[in-house]
């Protein structure tokens, strides 16, 4: 497996993972070929390697789920481990490299099995902002969006508690967000040689809402992530 530093971006859909990954690119982290063309609701691209995205969606499928119906447990199969290993091997001589796909929060154990020295990093966004974004993009009821937020972010909180990697909150204020991104890069020992420009607050069009509207378990995970954020 690759003996160079691997950064694994963790976070739910609609939560700022693309902006965080684009910021890693600005800091000199190799991403390789990613979905970076302008698409609806993400004009700067998803920043996801297609091989990983399609492999992980199929992995969820064979475990009885999908990105929007997360299986409780994920068992890796030989085909999926082969794609994973080839993907990692293709980065062997790339220097510091990284990748993101929100599904990785559901499959992370299989990556850490072969990349035990990988450096995870995480990002999360207000539950109602995510739920309303999914309502707008996918037509999901807000309640389903909150359930999905909980499924993904309870895993993020659990992994962060176990491994202690840096996490930040995705917010709409550009100056605050730039400061959070800079703090995260500093925590990782990355020093970009130019101002960070990838994050664009104008792409966030959904308001956060009131914490009092959150279900108890969602609020508990939300508070836990806020306590651990940079």
Domains in the chain: boundaries: 6-228
Q: How many CB atoms lie within 10 A of CB 136?
A: 14
177 φ, ψ (degrees, to nearest 5): -65, -40
Per-residue model confidence (pLDDT) at position 219 = 97
Helix (H, G, I), strand (E, B) or coil at 102: coil
Among 43-47, 68-72, 112-116, 142-146, which is the least confidently predicted range? 43-47
Q: What's the mean pLDDT in 176-198?
A: 91
Does the pLDDT at position 40 exceed 50?
no
* pLDDT category of residue 193 using cuts at 50, 70 and 90: confident
| Average pLDDT of the chain, as a whole number | 92
d(C-alpha 201, C-alpha 119), whole Å: 26
The CATH number corresponding to 6-228 among 3.60.15.10, 3.40.190.10, 3.30.750.24, 3.40.50.300 equals 3.40.50.300
Q: What is the pLDDT of residues 58-90, one digit of tens each?
A: 999 999 999 999 999 999 999 999 999 999 999
Q: How far apart (Å, rounded) are the C-alpha atoms in residues 190 and 188?
A: 6
Gap between the Cα atoms of 28 and 4, Å rounded: 13
Residue 204 has what pLDDT?
Answer: 56
Q: What angle do CA 197, 171, 69 make, to 5 degrees?
A: 105
Residue whose token pair is 């800091």:
27
Report the first-to-last Cα separation within the chain, whole angstroms.
31
| E strand or H helix at 168 | strand 167-170
Q: Report the C-alpha gap between 147 and 7 in whole angstroms.
A: 27
Q: Is 21 exposed, middle or buried (0-12, 13-18, 19+ CB in 10 A)?
A: buried
Q: Which residues contact 177 (CB under 8 A, 6 or more apart)?
A: 170, 171, 199, 201
DSSP string, 132-152: HHHHHHH---HHHHHHHHHHH
Tell me: pLDDT of 108 over 80: yes
Q: How confident is the model at residue 194 (pLDDT cuts 50, 70, 90)?
A: confident
Q: Locate 97 and state its tokens.
A: 């490299």
% of the chain residues with pLDDT over 70: 91
């Amino acid at each position: 497996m690759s003996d160079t530093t691997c950064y694994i971006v963790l976070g739910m859909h609609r939560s700022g993972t693309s902006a965080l990954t684009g910021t890693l690119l600005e800091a000199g982290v190799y991403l390789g070929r990613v979905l970076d063309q302008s698409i609806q609701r993400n004009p700067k691209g998803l920043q996801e390697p297609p091989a990983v995205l399609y492999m992980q969606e199929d992995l969820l499928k064979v475990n009885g789920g999908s990105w929007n119906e997360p299986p409780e447990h994920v068992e890796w199969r030989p085909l999926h481990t082969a794609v994973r290993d080839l993907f990692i091997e293709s980065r062997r001589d790339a220097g510091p490299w990284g990748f993101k796909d929100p599904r990785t929060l559901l499959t992370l154990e299989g990556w850490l099995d072969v990349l035990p020295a990988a450096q995870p990093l995480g990002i999360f966004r207000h539950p109602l902002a995510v739920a309303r974004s999914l309502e707008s993009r996918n037509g999901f009821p807000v309640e389903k969006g909150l359930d999905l937020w909980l499924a993904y972010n309870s895993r993020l909180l659990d992994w962060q508690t176990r491994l202690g990697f840096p996490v930040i909150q995705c917010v709409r204020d550009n100056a605050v967000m730039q400061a959070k991104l800079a703090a995260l890069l500093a925590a990782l020992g990355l020093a970009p040689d130019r101002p960070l420009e990838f994050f664009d607050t104008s792409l966030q069009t959904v308001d956060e809402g009131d914490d009092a509207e959150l279900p108890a378990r969602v609020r508990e995970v939300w508070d836990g992530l806020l306590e651990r954020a940079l």
